[in-house]
Structure formats: structure tokens, C-alpha cells
Chain A
């Protein structure tokens, strides 16, 4: 399944809802989206992974790249994910220590940095 991206803002937070598969084929699309947001001054990003069916290390690389970019502007990148099969790759790679992972978009938006 292909990647779907939809973006909205809540206050100074930008929420990117991702659907489908984030892999070596689709990751460039997500990377561009994150680069665009940061270029346009969105430094507090919430990536909602609840609609994601598959995520591999290429997708992780893009999320790490996004994190680096927002940090360069003292921003934040938070994830929303409750799906066990997606959480698993964050856990085995130790990236749960790098990304704040929330159970809902509301929780992620409310979190202070």
C-alpha cells in the first residue's frame, strides 16, 4: 500500500498523519514533507503513525532526520503510536529512548518540551 500524508496545525504544533507503508519506496515522500515543514517554520511536529501498516529502518532514518532538523531550531518531534507491530521496531533499535512516543495526538500536542 502506498503512503498517505495529511497535515494540519493545532496552535504551534503541526500534526502529520501518515497512512500506509513507510519503506525504502515511500520514505522519500515523508522526508520531503518533513523538510518542507521545517523550511516553512514548523518546528514542533507530531507524526501520527496510527494509520501506518509497515515501517522499516529506512522509515526510521527519515524520522531521525526530521528529529535532527527540528532540534536545530530547538523544536520537537513527537510520535503517536499504539500499534504493537510498529512499536516493536522502535523498541529493538533503542529508538524509544530517542523519540517521545504518545498514545494519542491530544497527548502529544499537550506535551511540553
Chain B
């Protein structure tokens, strides 16, 4: 696997984000929630407050650091849910075909027809704001691409010699799906998963903006950015740092996805699905 610039840069950015999230308790200067000292409200960036403080006097640097946890959780977990749903449906549809395939196809078309942000908005309205709701909302609404790719791969792999051979050898359906099909479609799935994580992080920000985001005790970058938007002219540091964190992480994920695609599948760059 040739190392490409986008793979390296993207991987590094993403790894950095993960690392920051993991090491948050050690990296952060203060508690992101409880260390609110209104006496220090809205300090601009300085040596004491690297990224400045917010309206409640909390250290933005620490909040950005802890924000990595929430934002990455949102990105990773919701995309995992998407992947599991998409792969389960797509793989089985492509493998079994028939009416089940029709059903899955109809479902996928349905999901494609409702813009996912709108669907997520509706789900958030039902479940109420919060991290779990958000994970569910984003996890349930973005699996159609994964599903299509899994289905298409399963369809094409199904006629491959080794899959037919497995059938001829008397393997059970599940054994075939898990040992013959799944491992051979992982490449594009990983790519789309990576890109999906990025878009989940952005969706979280968009939902926050629309008033249906995540507001657990720990901040997410999206909610920080959304809250700070009124002060973009007066206290720009409030939005610049979470904004940059989102930008760099999503950029990293996108680059990583591109890089993986190029490396895993040098022939067909981003074929349509």
C-alpha cells in the first residue's frame, strides 16, 4: 500500500483528534463543566487561557479537548450504527435477492428520498435533545449509501467463483455471508464509513444550530460552535476554536477516506454506487 499524502495527513488529523479525546483528562487545564467561574467570563486567548474563556468563564481549550470525546463519539458510534444497519440489510439483500431485496431496495430508496438531516431532525424532535437521541437519530438516517455499496458488492461477489464454490461445498448462508462476502467488501465500506463519520460530526453541528443538538454536561464542538455564533463579531474565539476542531477533524476524515479509497482500490477511484 503506497502511502499517499492524503492518507498520511488525514490519518494524522484523525488520530490526533482521537488522542485528544482519549487524553482529555490529562490535556485539559480545568474541568470543562464545573470550573465555571463567572469572574473570568469571556477572556480572550492568552497564556492562561489558551483559547480564551466562554460566557460562563470556562476554559475553551479544556472544553474543546473534552468536546473531542462527544464529537468523536457522535461520529464513530452513529456511523457504526449506520454501518451495521447498512451492511446487514445490503449484504443480505444482495445475497438472498428476491422479495427481501425488493424490500431493502424500497427502504433504501425511502431513506434516500428523505434528506437525512430532515429525518434526523424529526427523530430528534421525538426523542428530545441529548447524546443518545443524537446517536440514534444520526445512526438511523444515514445508512443508505452503506447499504447500497454492501448490496452492490454482495451482488457482484455472489457470482464470484469462490462464493459459488462455497455454496457448492455446502456452506450455510451465514457462513458464506460472513466468511466469503463480508471480508471482501470491507474496503469500500471502511471508506464510506470514514466519510460518514465526518458527515455525522457536521450533522451534529447542524442539528445544534437548528436547536435540536446534543447538550450533555460535556460540550460537543457542534454545540459550542452553535452557541457561539451570536458572538462571532464580538468574541470570535468562542467559535473559531470549536469551528477549527470540526473543520480539521472532518477534513482529516475526508482525506483519510480518500486516501483509503485510493490505496484500497487504485483502479476504480470513487465509482458511483
- Is B one of A's binding partners? no
